[in-house]
Structure 1
Amino acid sequence: MKRWSMVLTAFLLVATLSIVPGSVEAQFDEVGSIDFPTSATGEAQQHFLRGVAILHSFGWKQAREQFHAAQELDPDFAMAYWGESLAYNHPLVSQMDATDPRKALQRLGATPEERMTKAPTDREKGFLKAVEILWGEADHTERRVGYMEAMRDLYEAYPEDSEIAAFYALSLLGATAATRDLSQRWNVMAGTIALKLFNRNPMHPGAAHYTIHSFDNPIMAPLALDAAYAFADIAPAVSHARHMPTHIFIQHGMWDRVSGNNQSAYGVAQELWQPGDPVGDAVHALDWGQYGDLQRGDYEKAQLWMDRLGDMVDNEGFGTASGARGAAGIARAQGAVSLLKARYIVDTEEWEVQPVTEDSPAHELLATGLSAARTGDQLIVADAEAALAELSDGSGYTHVMHKQIGALRHAAMGHPDVATGLMDEAEAEVMTMAPPRGSASPVKPLHELYGELLLDLDMPDKAVEKFETSLLRMPNRPRSLLGLARAHAANGDAAMAAEAYAKVADLWQGRAHAGLQEAEDFLEQSMNEGEGNR
């Protein structure tokens, strides 16, 4: 078996590019470096390698183009169909649609037995056997766990094979998603494998990508910071590769990078889009980019993200897509418009009381209820609380939002014990969930709102604790820092207040916000008092 290995860079042969229908040269500037020998040779193998490298960055359409090109050159190339079967679904969602992957495999052969005869080596048979399980007829959880177990067997048989290692790591993450296992045991295993591969090949797109996914939570995020710095440079041709590092940057409160990486990801999504494509990459970048700019205090840019998303929906901009996938993408974009607006209201504190209807989503009801509470409209607060009660099934984030608005209503009615009791119940619910991995959920973080409520109730000691917990879960979030500064100031701890206010001033430097003015005034007063005491 001839070993094919290549660094996948912008220096691609024009002749090679020309045989890919509809390809765009910018798609293939850089996609990383992999070492994946197969029984194929020549251009079919080159297309296969590019396809796998892009697949590692979740560039679904771009990867499929490459696998199709490999199939055209070598119709019996089993691994090209294996790769295509993995290029239709996000592998970390709870369920995956097996329809298109099964069709891809059926083009190789009508039955698993027939398909297996076209995989000439034990290693390739192992890869094919694994996806036969993944796209089989069993329950989706059973299929995902079975796929992981098949990849584990292959990994144990070929422990030094980098591609087996990468796909085994990803299968562990997929099994975690399917089983909703919150223990992190499979994630830690996946991260250990991915980190080892990343250290061996710092240009491997899957190694960096799966390291990020493995450690995508506030506690373990520092383990993935080097991979996050590297990933966007490894595969800049893929929009998701530019976005994905922000999963770790957001855990560190690195708001400039959250904004910048998603701006870059959005640009690539625009560049690569063609009629009929789904809108997922663009929506994801718009969503996370807006959150980053809200934390930076750049409300004008945050509004721009919303305008861009609105244009995609209202004017069918570059996000138009056909068929069921297209309809799902547009529906996702429409839902995101509402989410971004609710988040904008909450994080800017530009309060806006919207009508409460039976179609109002939970995050919109939370923003409306909070706006009404802050502007003294208790009737709307009660309406929002009732609507959230209708949506709640007794657990989860909607249940938490219901208690948040209920607490605000009771606090305004002069029932502080009821208000804090509701917030305690909401806190207990939140702490049973996985730590936040992206933008705030709910859009008004539970501990941040609890701290603000405690300040309103003249309990700054307890408020400090809530704001500190909020910042442990979402580092460097300016509204939590501002609340922490106010709580320390109310406690008479000027030094700790100044420390928190300084962080707010640094994050919002140059912004015309009341919170920034408050921080600067406190810091100036503290400095003057310090000079006066000398």
Structure 2
Amino acid sequence: MNTSCLPLLLVYGLSLLPSACRQHNQAAPAGTLTELSLKRGNLSVCGPAEQQFGRVAFEVSGPQSVQADVALAVSLLHSFEYDEAEKVFARVIDQAPDCAMAYWGVAMCSYHPLWTPPTPAELAKGARAVALAQRLPKKTAREAAYIDALAAFYQDHAHADHRTRSGRFEQAMARVAARFPTDPEAAIFYALALDAAADPADKTFRKQRKAGAILEGLQPQAPRHPGIVHYLIHTYDYPELAALALPAARQYAAVAPSSAHALHMPSHIFTRLGLWDECISSNLAAAASARCYAENAGLKGHWDEELHSVDYLAYAYLQQGDNRRAREQQRYLAAVREVSPVTFKVAYAFAAVPARYVLENKQWAAAARLRPQRAHLDWAQFPWQRAITHFARALGHARTQQPDSAQREIDHLAALRTTLSGQHNDYQARQVEVQLLAAEAWLALARGQSAEALRRMQQAADLENRTEKHPVTPGEVVPARELLADMLLQLRQPAPALAAYEADLQQHPNRFNGLYGAAGAAEQAGQPAKAAAYYQRLTEVARAAAPARPEVVAARAFLARHPAASL
């Protein structure tokens, strides 16, 4: 794929409302439009010489001259290129200020259903845009239904929580899709709304399966629609469902190669399935595209999407035992000083990448010394991400027999959990609770309290099983059930340790430490054939590992000693 920087320059007049337009429609006064602070400028994308965002048909009321731009903007919207989509919707508004669906598009750009909830400023902007759309008289019944459905999300946004409002949008889009059954876009946006409103604790995946059925039913008629393949990946981004999304994951980058997100998003499924080579290729392309985008868009520093890809790259390299390349990603990240915008995934990458490196390599002394990276980041705004550093330090101190220091880090984790609970951020509070329980478990083990240690570690593993990982991360910093297996093995209980490793590998296939741990547990449990199978798999997954990795050396030594067991 050609990832050279090829900005697409869409130059248009800067006058917000030409005089002729003001006379044509008084329903959208210039002052109100100015308050929207629409994103404007050249459309900046990187990739093929001709823009490729997939194929979308989305006709709206308005002159024929804006139809191509509307289709382009909706294509960008389907690939979560929100800033660029808003630029195109703004151009439509300049040409046809009475086009109600252009304001709907602006409001959709402020929603971003599967990412972090909108900020107060984004909520206010979206609410203003959708209110303008409702006031404009020139719209069809279909367009009014789309607009009213989105208005349900923004209604009472200052008081109703995000989950409640996402549920409203889902229900409203269900009515739109039912009312206009021949409109595929209504069904596609309904599937997106289902995913956005899904309960992360629902292990039946009821809403996701419904969304998947809708999207799969539409795909044969629209194989190059970016929303269908993109949302199929999100819909099935769970260990139990990930295999269902593999065809879409291998297709999305080819459908929309001009989107950095389309280059990255397939790696969610590759990671779920332990396909590390494909994950790495996906994120190398995405990171290059993100750097190109930052340059063309005139961003100060790096684009947040690049750091998201760096996190996935570091994780994948570590699962291949490739410390050299993982370390390169960590050093690259350490050199970053400015990122735009500073989002929750930026903070996550800054915290997770160095923590992953030391924990995956079991460098406990280094883990105890970890410090949060300072890159013009206010860590007080990111308690969940801050917890990662305290978690790593707690494990480091506990594993190096420094119980008092471990306890201090555990106290920090407890305080951060309380902060998140006070913010009614139940999901992130539960994530920190898992880390807190795991840290307490290893501290108990360091104090010789093995029964208490196992009890708490089991609680952590069970809680993590009931809570899905956030899509901002390729995986937990260290899976709790893998930590439970490590503890069981350390306590000379190889049979239950093997069961725990195997259970975790079902959720996290081809994890380096999971494979090595399962092989060692099988070996100690007197199951040489099973040990050989796991050691063999480790050598295949970690073929890029430096020869010095002791785990790979041990695996090859076992296979050499037991050639019959490896047949």
TM over 0.5: yes
Q: Which moved more, 1:377-386 or 1:51-60?
A: 377-386
Q: Does 1:56 align with 2:78?
A: yes
Q: Does 1:90 align with 2:112?
A: yes
AA of the residue aligned to 1:398: V
Any conservation in 2 of the 1:86–1:101 contact (CA below 8 Å)? no
Q: Taking every aligned residue pair, what percent have the same amino acid on both sides?
A: 28
User: What is aligned with 1:287?
Assistant: 311
User: What is aligned with 1:68?
Assistant: 90
User: What is aligned with 1:132?
Assistant: 151
Q: Distance in 2 between matches of 1:93 and 1:285?
A: 15
Shift of 1:379: 4.1
1:299-378 equivalence runs, <5 A: 299-312=323-336, 314=337, 316=338, 319=339, 321=340, 326=341, 328-329=342-343, 333-351=346-364, 352-355=366-369, 361-378=386-403
Q: Distance in 2 between matches of 1:247 and 1:303?
A: 21
Shift of 1:440: 6.5
User: What is aligned with 2:298?
Assistant: 275
AA of the residue aligned to 2:559: L
Number of paired residues? 505
User: What is aligned with 1:499?
Assistant: 533
Shift of 1:154: 1.5
Q: Distance in 1 between matches of 2:210 and 2:127?
A: 29
Q: Does 1:151 align with 2:185?
A: no
User: What is aligned with 1:521?
Assistant: 557
Shift of 1:251: 1.1
Q: Residue 109 of structure 2 aligns to a residue in which SS?
A: coil
Q: Does 1:204 align with 2:240?
A: no
User: What is aligned with 1:470?
Assistant: 504
Shift of 1:126: 1.4
Any conservation in 2 of the 1:35–1:162 contact (CA below 8 Å)? no
User: What is aligned with 1:419?
Assistant: 453
Please provide the CA RMSD for this pair: 3.1
User: What is aligned with 2:67?
Assistant: 45
For residues 45-67 of structure 1, the C-alpha deviation after alignment (integer angstroms, 9 at most, x for no partner) is: 11110110111000111111211
Q: Distance in 1 between matches of 2:460 and 2:403?
A: 21
AA of the residue aligned to 2:530: M
Pairing partner for 2:245 from 211, 221, 224: 224
Any conservation in 1 of the 2:53–2:259 contact (CA below 8 Å)? yes
Change (3 A) 1:438 1:336: closer
Any conservation in 1 of the 2:367–2:393 contact (CA below 8 Å)? yes
**Which protein has greater RCO, CA pairs closer than 8 Å, 6+ apart?**
2
Shift of 1:412: 3.3
Q: Which moved more, 1:137-146 or 1:260-269?
A: 137-146
Change (3 A) 1:257 1:356: closer
Any conservation in 2 of the 1:484–1:497 contact (CA below 8 Å)? yes
Q: Distance in 1 between matches of 2:361 and 2:370?
A: 21
Any conservation in 2 of the 1:218–1:436 contact (CA below 8 Å)? no
User: What is aligned with 1:215?
Assistant: 236
Q: Distance in 2 between matches of 1:25 and 1:405?
A: 44
The normalised TM-score by structure 1 is 0.86
Q: Residue 148 of structure 1 aligns to a residue in which SS?
A: helix
Any conservation in 2 of the 1:411–1:419 contact (CA below 8 Å)? yes
Any conservation in 2 of the 1:82–1:105 contact (CA below 8 Å)? no
Change (3 A) 1:342 1:35: same
User: 5+ residue gaps in structure 2?
Assistant: 1-5, 13-39, 373-378, 422-428
AA of the residue aligned to 1:64: E
AA of the residue aligned to 1:234: V
Q: Distance in 2 between matches of 1:515 and 1:417?
A: 29
Q: Distance in 2 between matches of 1:230 and 1:357?
A: 40
Q: Distance in 2 between matches of 1:252 and 1:73?
A: 47
Q: Distance in 2 between matches of 1:501 and 1:411?
A: 28
Shift of 1:220: 1.0
User: 5+ residue gaps in structure 1?
Assistant: 1-11
Q: Does 1:385 align with 2:410?
A: yes
Change (3 A) 1:207 1:98: farther
Change (3 A) 1:482 1:25: closer
Q: Distance in 1 between matches of 2:133 and 2:435?
A: 50
User: What is aligned with 1:23?
Assistant: 43
The normalised TM-score by structure 2 is 0.81
